[in-house]
Structure 1
Amino acid sequence: MGVAAVSLLTTSGLTRHFSGIHAVEGVDFTLEAGEIRALIGSNGAGKTTLVSMICGRIPPSAGEIHFDGRDITRWPAHRRIMAGMAYTFQISSIYAGLPVFENVALAARRKRRGRAAEAATQEALMRVGLWERADQPAGDLAYGHQRLLEIAMGLAQSPRLLILDEPTQGLSEGEIAAFKALIRELAPATTILLIEHNMSVVMELAERVTVMDMGRILAEGTPAEIRANRAVQAAYLGTG
């Protein structure tokens, strides 16, 4: 008998309404420890609203969120970070006037002090390929490199759950290949939730894919199952 998967994150009945608009409606979602999960759907499907509730940027209208066995539904964002959750947009946009190194060091210091923070900063920058640019002002980086900097800011916190929102946007083909290698290296020590429009990245990286449509989960399954799902084809992949 195999070892049962351990749920790191679960949501039950998670709902968010904005002035009568049902952005997310009754979402039950489970993320197993160590997996790479992709969250896909057309613009307005509710993906960003869902992860914004998970990471504490916005409160739910109804429902619950459990992380590592604890009810975190009403926890503020900074407490979720300390518990091991990192989200690229929550970490913040970059500080354009500060050097690349200091951007990542600020994130690292949420969890560490002194030399430990410096070591975590260097390791994160080396992992995303930006160590050679450590002294460069962050605002001078190309857009794709700024996205990699945001990922480094997440990695510097040694998260148990890393949520990446459109991480390959603006990256070159070579950088995308390096990104895919990085994600494979991070799992299973880090659980990855990936919001991504690049379907080749989704299909190559994700162990399971969750598809949202009109605020609800339309389908979940392996990449092959999602590719073959007629409802997904019609709603999102454009092949129905």
Structure 2
Amino acid sequence: MTAILSTSGLGKRFDGLRANHDIDFALAPGEIHALIGPNGAGKTTFVSMLIGRLAPSEGTIRFDGRDVTRMPAHRRVALGMAYTFQITSVFGRLSCAENVALAARGRDADVQRALERVGLAERAAEIAGDLSYGHQRLLEIAMGLAQRPRLLILDEPTQGLAESEVAAFKQLIRALVPDTTILLIEHNMSVVMELADRITVLNFGEVLAQGTPAQIHDNPAVQAAYLGTGGQDAED
């Protein structure tokens, strides 16, 4: 099956410091693919290149068969890529509905549907800045959904969510596929293991392992580098 998103030999250097190196990655249409790794593994740099916030030093990025390596972020969004930030980026002085409307470009039906899907329909008129952090995270996901993405990249989406909200989030993500492909950057390993079809592990800016949740769980190198540390770092 042709990948909806792929990279070949992707790398990034900052003033001689190698943040990512020779990353070959493929995301199949309709799958939930998790990206994990310890603090400093290079996940943020990698994702920033995927969405067009950073230009690669080498390698290529393809989306839906098209070379988007040098394409600006807004054009990638227009092609069907949506991204939610690790730190919430909602407009605090606007209502929930107004936030989603900005992302939906004014399509009212999309606004209501997006809020319903994340469980915030009854809070549509509330000011986003008055929401709890967890609800702001859900609002940001609604903003992503309102763009009708073919690929939704979620960066630490369960951070700040209560246990009941995490359960609802998992149900939501399962309902999105196969119409929407999901790339999930997440430190909550129970969420990763329950949701992901496949997992890619980064370490020191390179791919350490790729495979099913069972394969990743049983991989000695992954256990030594990440799973065995017990760490739940919030960022890299």
Contact 2:200–2:207 (CA under 8 A) maintained in structure 1: yes
Displacement after TM superposition at 1:239 (Å): 6.4
Deviation beyond 3 Å, 4+ runs, structure 1: none
Are positions 1:98 and 2:94 aligned together? yes
Displacement after TM superposition at 1:6 (Å): 2.5
Distance in 2, matches of 1:67 and 1:166, equals 22
Structure 1 residue corresponding to 2:40, chosen from 40, 44, 59: 44
Aligned pair count reads 230
Displacement after TM superposition at 1:89 (Å): 2.2
Contact 1:57–1:90 (CA under 8 A) maintained in structure 2: no
TM-score (norm 2): 0.95
Contact 2:88–2:137 (CA under 8 A) maintained in structure 1: no
Distance in 2, matches of 1:195 and 1:82, equals 22
Contact 2:36–2:202 (CA under 8 A) maintained in structure 1: yes
Are positions 1:131 and 2:127 aligned together? no
Aligned residue identity for 2:81: M
Unaligned runs of 5+ in 2: 231-236
Q: 1:114-159: per-residue Cα shift (whole Å, max 9, x none)? A: xxx1100100000000111111111111000111011000000010
Contact 1:220–1:226 (CA under 8 A) maintained in structure 2: yes
Distance in 2, matches of 1:122 and 1:96, equals 19
Equivalence for 2:215: 225
Equivalence for 2:151: 161
Are positions 1:61 and 2:82 aligned together? no
Equivalence for 1:179: 169
Q: Share of identical aligned residues, percent?
A: 68
Displacement after TM superposition at 1:205 (Å): 0.2
Equivalence for 2:31: 35
Distance in 2, matches of 1:73 and 1:152, equals 27
- RMSD (CA atoms): 1.5
Unaligned runs of 5+ in 1: none
